[in-house]
A and B are shown apart, each in its own frame.
Chain A
Amino acid sequence: MQERLDYRKAHSVEEALTLFQDLPRSRYMAGGTDLLPRARGSGQAPSRLVDIKGIPELSRIEELPSGDLRIGAAVSVAAVAAHPTVRQRFSALSLCASALGSYPLRNRATVVGNICNASPCADTAAALLCLDATVLCVGPAGPRRIPIHEFFVGPGQTSLASGELALAVEIPAASAGGRAELGRLSRRQGVDIATVAVLLSVLPQRSPRHRVALLSVAPTPRRASEAETLLDQRGPSAANAAAEAAMAAARPIDDVRGTAAYRREMVGVLLTRAVRALGAA
């Protein structure tokens, strides 16, 4: 008989780590919206799912005394999108969280889960990249903080070590107060993976002030730093040059959702539009 999946609910971080260590091919599960269909469909099913939604401290969105925002790993995408602080101070994240999946899915999926899947099209990754978020994690070797820029390694791959559990993402207070514009193309209007997406965020307290994140055009979600520099230096008048730079930064492939050439071209179109929209705002 086929080996059957094991499910365990952890009530503390320590318990989660222990449960994970017990069996090879364990996986941590938050919303499970990506994990469960994949576990069903493929031959690489995990042997154990360690459910982290029963860990109280992971289920909170907290504003820290420093003004940083901490989003626990079990907080749903919908809760993040609707959270007043997120909407007011970190609108880029609210925008991207609202674009992810469907309404029932957003009620279940989590932001931390979304980035741990490390899909090139992970919507919330675009915002977290622009906002200089940090991933808090803990593993057998102890706790550590991973800057979001070092978090994505390849399609489906993160810099988390085996057994390491992502506890939360933190967004620094200095990233607050900006404006953001999300350009996102998909094959239909409702609920679709982005064929290509560009997030432009302007953060008054940061350098560079302009942040450009690209989705579905590289092995991982990524920033387009040359474009950011150009926009910082020359403002909206650099729109075309920034678009060229972002297109050059893209490494798209051909797949069933679109061709590399179209994706690259659309990076330019979407960024130009975002610059215009924010410039005019």
Chain B
Amino acid sequence: MAIPIRVKVNGQVEALEVAPDESLLSMLRERLDLTGAKEGCNEGECGACVVLLDGKAVNACLVLAAEADGHEVTTIEGLGRPGALHPLQKAFLAHQAVQCGFCTPGMIMTALSLLLENPAPTEEEVRTAISGNLCRCTGYRQILDAVQAAAQEMRAGAQGRRP
């Protein structure tokens, strides 16, 4: 009983036949080989699978693939490329905010969702936003610094584009 869906993933329209109980996470990873989003718990408690759905962070394990029909998904693979990294990717590198890297894609996507909503968050707002993204390695300190640095660069970039 496959369900036909059309979903825009990282700017490209994908026409897929998904199973009714297939999660968005599984669809991205198994069908599209977009393995940046990770399965850490499969119950929305760790944040390793966070992607943007219509520009907002969601746990991809808590969304059915079928629910994404007609919507737009952005994953870490849709962010930047070497030489043209997204400010968040650059800042995570520059602030040594990455260790094992398993939480990193979800962490960056959550931070991106926050910064799209709130370009100048306080540290408390950043902490709150990423508190659903567990990281066992870093102690979060360098991640918090990286998000602030990226916010600053994104604000500067936005100003630079204004006439």
User: Could you tell me which A residues sit within 8 Å of B by CB distance?
Assistant: 4-7, 9, 31-33, 36-37, 39-41, 49, 51, 53, 78, 101-105, 107-108, 189-191
Contacts and interface: CB of A to CB of B under 8 A. Distances in A.
B40 to A, nearest CB: 13
- Chain B, interface size category, equals 20 to 34
Nearest to A82: B117
A99 to B, nearest CB: 10
B12 interface: no
Interface of B: 1, 3, 19-21, 23, 42-44, 47, 50, 53, 56-59, 61-64, 66-67, 69, 110, 113-114, 127-133
Contacts of A191: 131-132
Nearest to B21: A5
A6 B110 contact: no
A7 B110 contact: no
A107 B56 CA distance: 7
Contacts, number: 91
From A36, A78, A101, A104, residue with most partner B Cβ within 10 Å: A104
A104 B67 contact: no
Given A37-B44, A40-B42, A103-B57, A6 B62 contact: no
A37 B42 contact: yes
B62 A4 contact: no
A108 to B, nearest CB: 5
Contact of A108 (B21, B63, B127): B63
A7 B20 contact: yes
Given A5-B20, A9-B69, A102 B132 contact: yes
A107 B57 contact: yes
A108 B3 CA distance: 22
B56 A33 contact: no
